[in-house]
Structure 1
């Protein structure tokens, strides 16, 4: 019943789109026909006038001959037109040259950076240019690179039935690098289209972020969204830092893939960007007409420092734990346990928020359908 309601809404929208497209095509065809008819009539009138002049007046040599003044005027006119075209082409070449330079700089920065031997992804430095066209291409490249590696990202995903739900978290230390990975599987009681709409336009409602974090949807393109998470640099500090995340969404038949990655540089962001390496894949698949399966996997790596920022003690302090007097192995064990507990608590909160938002969107869609009857 619910699926029928959704199908009726979609069919009605499709019907009106097709009607509007049909009207526009008819108007365009009528304009083209009238334009062609006008050109034919003008040519016919010109022919009639010329024939009448030839019939009533004798042809004289001075009438047929073109004066040098007329030739000079025409040459000057053509020269001006050619000069304008040359200037336009020169500008286009210069714009393309700048774009190529920006993209070469992007590729140079995006070359692989040092990473942990156990890291499951090849880390890249992604920096967005202030040049509009280059910026758009950088976003497309950065998200498509993840999309093309979707199958590889899920290669180590636990084997389980599509309608099972679970969550797995792991953190290890390898050659002064901390690697964190997690994977989850959800079953949402909503069609694929509703789940996709939620992830595109209601990320704030389902995001698990502290209350002092401001989430901004900074930029949209056809299939990418740039999010900026602004939060205090330290507790009680007025200074702010930004964590910039680029999301891309790709639609297939009965499937939708969302990808996200951390941005390390942005010429249009005034605040300092948080330097971290995190990537995420979300694979949505239709289970049936009213259920959607979502597989999520993410990876992050952080170079470990002996003291201060990015040290085990500092990470433990952020989690509310004092590990100053512990050995490194024990610090890692305690930190892994704390991070794992927090991950599972956030998982429960995330599931509750997603279910609440999906239920609200589903009810709104049904009410819209009922009002349309």
Structure 2
């Protein structure tokens, strides 16, 4: 019994000693924490004192007087002038956009109102006007050329070309289609296994763009250009021939991974050069399609050209017409005019194509 009482007493003394030791440890930690906080507060006081001194020094350097009312008024006026200038700029921009919208609405309405074709079997002479406004003009060019490009395969199919996957040649053909209104010249050809690079073919095409592709017999690089515009994938060239024909051709170039399509359209009405339409002109449209194939290139070609006419007037007679090809029909019976013109045009085209396909030492320059 006495031993049990002794053990209890020892446990109580040990517990009391443990609590005392724990309290002592807590007090030590508390004093250390208080000491650390005092150090931190002292550092903070020093930082704030430095900041106070810096602010006081800066305030002493600031001018103690207010801005003169004239300076305030001038600043407000400058701000107002800037706002009014921005307003005028936005108003001009809005006016330009409204004019552009009006122009394009009228332009598209004219394009859609044109007849699908002057008569069966003859191409659609459409999409042939451009406005003078630079933005409207650029949109018009893109619309005309993209419309032609998207119809490339349909046009070749329409004129009897085989499907693109058939690697065959289509014999060169030049055909005149006469009617009461005049005539249309159709040229078509497909060549397989053409040697050379795609880029060389493109360069050669542009090298002969105005002489061969547009069939302008009397074209010379020395002729002065009325229009010479190159913008992105579009080109436009306009000039007057020595025979007085006004040529105004718009060209677009479209590339894909293994193909290049070049399309062209004569512009019948161009607001930027309206005075030149007193000269006679012709309808022209063409598609030139180049594919890469395993053994070289394949090219497809369609050209369509019309008789000469004066915008808003009448057609030129056959004798004047033949003169554009360098042919004199004055001593030829009237009933043979069309036959002679056809034969002569065939001869001229054959000569130009033969010259075009002569082996060349260096690639021709691009027009």
TM-score range, shorter chain: 0.5 to 0.7
Query: What is residue 262 of structure 1 aligned with on the other side?
Result: 266
1:196 is matched with which residue: 197, 202, 212?
Answer: 202
Query: In structure 2, how many angstroms separate the alpha carbons of the residues matched to 1:176 and 1:293?
Result: 36
1:135 is matched with which residue: 119, 122, 137?
Answer: 137
Alpha-carbon distance, 1:203 to partner: 3.3
Q: Residue by residue, what CA displacement relative to the aligned partner does 1:309-350 show, whole Å, maximum 9, x if unpaired?
A: 4456765787545343x4xxxx6xx72x44543344344323
Query: What is residue 299 of structure 1 aligned with on the other side?
Result: 304
Q: Residue by residue, what CA displacement relative to the aligned partner does 1:80-113 show, whole Å, maximum 9, x if unpaired?
A: 2211211111121222233333333433443444
User: For the Cα contact (< 8 Å) 1:117–1:174, is it kept in 2?
Assistant: no
Query: What is residue 107 of structure 2 aligned with on the other side?
Result: 106
TM-score (norm 1): 0.64
2:228 is matched with which residue: 199, 218, 221?
Answer: 218
Q: Secondary structure at the match of 1:130?
A: coil
- C-alpha change, 1:118 and 1:52, in structure 2 (3 Å) is farther
1:243 is matched with which residue: 243, 247, 253?
Answer: 247
Alpha-carbon distance, 1:274 to partner: 3.1
Larger CA Rg, structure 1 vs 2: 2
Alpha-carbon distance, 1:189 to partner: 1.9
Alpha-carbon distance, 1:260 to partner: 0.7
Q: Secondary structure at the match of 1:361?
A: coil
Alpha-carbon distance, 1:221 to partner: 1.3
Gaps of at least 5 residues in structure 1 are 1-48, 234-239, 365-373
User: For the Cα contact (< 8 Å) 1:279–1:300, is it kept in 2?
Assistant: yes
Query: In structure 1, how many angstroms separate the alpha carbons of the residues matched to 2:113 and 2:87?
Result: 41
Gaps of at least 5 residues in structure 2 are 1-49
Alpha-carbon distance, 1:278 to partner: 2.3
Q: Residue by residue, what CA displacement relative to the aligned partner does 1:257-309 show, whole Å, maximum 9, x if unpaired?
A: 011111112233343353432211111111247x32211112345599xxx84
Q: Residue by residue, what CA displacement relative to the aligned partner does 1:218-277 show, whole Å, maximum 9, x if unpaired?
A: 2211112212242245xxxxxx33121111111111100011111112233343353432
**Greater relative contact order, per chain length (Cα 8 Å cut-off, separation 6+):** 1
- C-alpha change, 1:51 and 1:184, in structure 2 (3 Å) is farther
- C-alpha change, 1:280 and 1:205, in structure 2 (3 Å) is closer
RMSD of equivalent CA atoms:
4.1
- C-alpha change, 1:51 and 1:359, in structure 2 (3 Å) is farther
- Count residues in correspondence: 296
